[in-house]
Structure 1
Amino acid sequence: MLDILMNKPLLALLAVLTLSTAPANAQEERVTLGWGRLFTNDVFGDTRDRWRTGSYTLSRVRGSEWLGHLPTTPGDILEFRAVGETIAPADLVSPDPDDRRYVGSLTFGLHTHFDWQGFDTSLGGNLVITGPQSGASNLQARIHDLVGLPEPQVFGDQIGDNFFPTAVAEISRRIALPQGEMRPFIEAQAGVEDFVRVGADLSFGGYTREALMLRDGPTGQRYRAVSGSRVEGFSLTVGGDIARVYDSEYFVAGDAAQLEQTRSRARAGIHWQGERSEMFYGLTWLGKEFITQPDTQVVGSVNLRVKF
């Protein structure tokens, strides 16, 4: 089973075949159903500016209509996703030789979300662009210069320019709870990082009710892309997962920093829904990702929508 999940060409082919099953007239009827976004930075968490230090995820969801639940046909709902991420050693000026290399990445993806025999299913493909060509290191250098921080010295030794086609799939099942729901899931990815992940998310309140929820890659936090019932008030989300990581292009053979084969995450968040505006704030604990990593870290995620 795991050999099938980690077969990169097979996963990429499955993604293409699935998306190609959309009805021929779907494109003519498709409209924008919603936008999802999530900004993550360790300044909102442990404030240490290291490792999985920052990311921004933006999703645009297209389809003919949203009825509060997933369609049964793959391709009816399409998500266009863009992600910018920065991964850094703990010290950008004088890095420890045992620390990981700097990574700047930019991802563009196409995913479809559908109901498969009662299971919420997501299947898609990404193109991950790494190195100076992603623009991440240039942007960070300008920010440091703007605020008067020392110039980073790690960009010359960062993970280099490359393109990594990446396939990802997730399947989950909703279990109703009093005033909420639990959602166990399994996820597999092959490409820039190869892993199989299992976990669960719990939510209490109206945040996820009849909404299309998407999963942020770096943190696992679920963010709302298409609104459902929009029940006013506060909602709580908690979750966690553990992954078996087989390979990662973010580490280089011969470096002291080598891949940890087990990767754990735990997260919690609070969402407020008003009559027209909403706000989300979440914290994610990230376990160690490489064998010389001296500590774990905590990052924070925010999403703010204000309508006047």
Structure 2
Amino acid sequence: MKFVIRAALVLALFPFNAGVAQERQTLGYGSIFSNDRLGDGKDRWRSGSYSFSKVTGRSWDGVLPSAMGEILEYRLRAEIFAPESLTNPSPQDRRYAGALSFGLHTHFGRGGTEISYGADLVVTGSQTGIASFQDTIHDWIDEPSPDTAADNQIGNAIYPTISMQAARPFHISQRARMRPFIEAQAGVETFLRIGGDLVIGNVGAGELTLRDVTTGHLYGATYGGNEGVSMVLGADTALMVDSRYLPSHGNVDMSTSRTRLRAGMHWEAARIGIFYGLTWLSEEFDEQSQGQTLGTLNLRYRF
């Protein structure tokens, strides 16, 4: 199964061609922040993540181009994985991990299907400086230092990671649309995922839509011009093949499947947009005592 996913993704990415003759311009930016503190109030497991993307292309008219490489997303991500206790981690808990990723993705459409292919370099270990950064932040807000947990963190490494996602949005009414999707990834984590999202309201329509890696929440990298409020409900499940954050020779056993349930609200005005959402994540390893709830925040301001 692992070989099949890797081979399919490599074949899919092989024809990628970013050589577009016309002059490129910045079409928009996307960013999203998730943290356990904003959800169930804890500081554990999928502790926090931040993603920032710059999207470039010739133009954006609300419809994805049919050619690969016309729209490019340059993506920077950071994420913290932690045991349940930073000061006294159990030997039967996941190891601390800091991860930085640098990626290039392309978005296009074929026959009503929205498709994205991408490649990321995921850097782990103390070389990322994430543990030191978290230690500084925790010192400012008088929270426990991660030093004890970070002493046993996932080691320094670089993992090339490729991914593919296909979504087929369709309207079920004038103000509601469904967006079923399938996703595959091979690299730092290897999996096959299927799910969908229900959007009620027009906020987000006509935008280039990105999906948060950690929670699966949708967020825009362009502005569609629709003001008001939209509600989003989503769910997905993944068949897990491998995870470098939960190594097979480690002290815990990776769960063979993962489920995410999410809900959120978009509010968009003339110059500012706000999104807040919650996501329940099922257990990622067999020894994990329960799932967790993350809070997700996205703020947009247009000058």
For normalisation by structure 2, the TM-score amounts to 0.95
The alignment partner of 2:98 has SS state of: strand
Using the alignment, how far apart are the partners of 1:123 and 1:307 within structure 2? Answer: 28
Using the alignment, how far apart are the partners of 1:156 and 1:176 within structure 2? Answer: 50
**Partners of 1:12 and 1:166 within 8 A in 2:** no
**1:13–1:145 Cα change, 3 Å:** same
The alignment partner of 1:154 has SS state of: helix
**1:209–1:151 Cα change, 3 Å:** closer
Q: Which amino acid aligns with 1:134?
A: T
Asked whether 1:191 is paired with 2:187, we answer: yes
Bigger CA drift: 109-118 or 248-257? 248-257
**Partners of 2:34 and 2:297 within 8 A in 1:** yes
CA RMSD of aligned residues (A): 1.6
Give matches, 1:14-29, under 5 Å.
Answer: 14-18=12-16, 20=17, 22-26=18-22, 29=23
Q: Which amino acid aligns with 2:145?
A: E
Per-residue Cα deviation, 1:183-242 (whole angstroms, up to 9, x for no partner): 1110000000000000001101122211111011011011110111x2221101110000
Asked whether 1:126 is paired with 2:120, we answer: yes
Per-residue Cα deviation, 1:259-303 (whole angstroms, up to 9, x for no partner): 001100011110001121111001111001000000100001111
Q: 1:151 offset after TM fit, Å?
A: 2.9
Using the alignment, how far apart are the partners of 2:77 and 2:96 within structure 1? Answer: 17
**Partners of 2:20 and 2:69 within 8 A in 1:** no
> Which of 278, 281, 297 matches 1:286?
281
Asked whether 1:138 is paired with 2:132, we answer: yes
Q: Which amino acid aligns with 1:111?
A: H
The alignment partner of 1:285 has SS state of: strand
Q: 1:116 offset after TM fit, Å?
A: 2.0
Q: Which position in structure 2 is the counterpart of 1:244?
A: 239
Q: Which position in structure 2 is the counterpart of 1:271?
A: 266
**Partners of 1:5 and 1:188 within 8 A in 2:** no
Q: Which amino acid aligns with 2:294?
A: V
> Which of 90, 108, 111 matches 1:114?
108
Per-residue Cα deviation, 1:50-96 (whole angstroms, up to 9, x for no partner): 10010001011000000111000000000000100001001000011
Per-residue Cα deviation, 1:94-132 (whole angstroms, up to 9, x for no partner): 011111000100011000000123211000101000001
Q: Which position in structure 2 is the counterpart of 1:99?
A: 93
Q: Which position in structure 1 is the counterpart of 2:221?
A: 225
Using the alignment, how far apart are the partners of 1:133 and 1:303 within structure 2? Answer: 28
Q: 1:16 offset after TM fit, Å?
A: 4.8
**1:196–1:79 Cα change, 3 Å:** same
The alignment partner of 2:65 has SS state of: coil
Using the alignment, how far apart are the partners of 1:98 and 1:227 within structure 2? Answer: 46
> Which of 26, 31, 34 matches 1:37?
31
The alignment partner of 2:106 has SS state of: strand
Q: 1:3 offset after TM fit, Å?
A: 6.0
**Partners of 2:2 and 2:190 within 8 A in 1:** no
Q: Which amino acid aligns with 2:219?
A: Y
**1:5–1:124 Cα change, 3 Å:** farther
The alignment partner of 1:133 has SS state of: helix
Q: 1:148 offset after TM fit, Å?
A: 3.3
Asked whether 1:209 is paired with 2:208, we answer: no
Q: Which position in structure 2 is the counterpart of 1:167?
A: 162
Q: Which amino acid aligns with 1:81?
A: R
Q: Which amino acid aligns with 2:90?
A: D
Unaligned runs of 5+ in 2: none
Bigger CA drift: 180-189 or 115-124? 115-124
> Which of 268, 292, 298 matches 1:297?
292
The alignment partner of 1:6 has SS state of: helix
The alignment partner of 2:37 has SS state of: helix
**Partners of 2:230 and 2:267 within 8 A in 1:** yes
Q: Which amino acid aligns with 1:231?
A: N
Number of aligned residue pairs: give it: 301
Using the alignment, how far apart are the partners of 2:302 and 2:164 within structure 1? Answer: 34
Per-residue Cα deviation, 1:129-160 (whole angstroms, up to 9, x for no partner): 00011111010111223333343301111000
Using the alignment, how far apart are the partners of 1:57 and 1:24 within structure 2? Answer: 26
Structure 1 ranges of 4+ moved more than 6 A: none
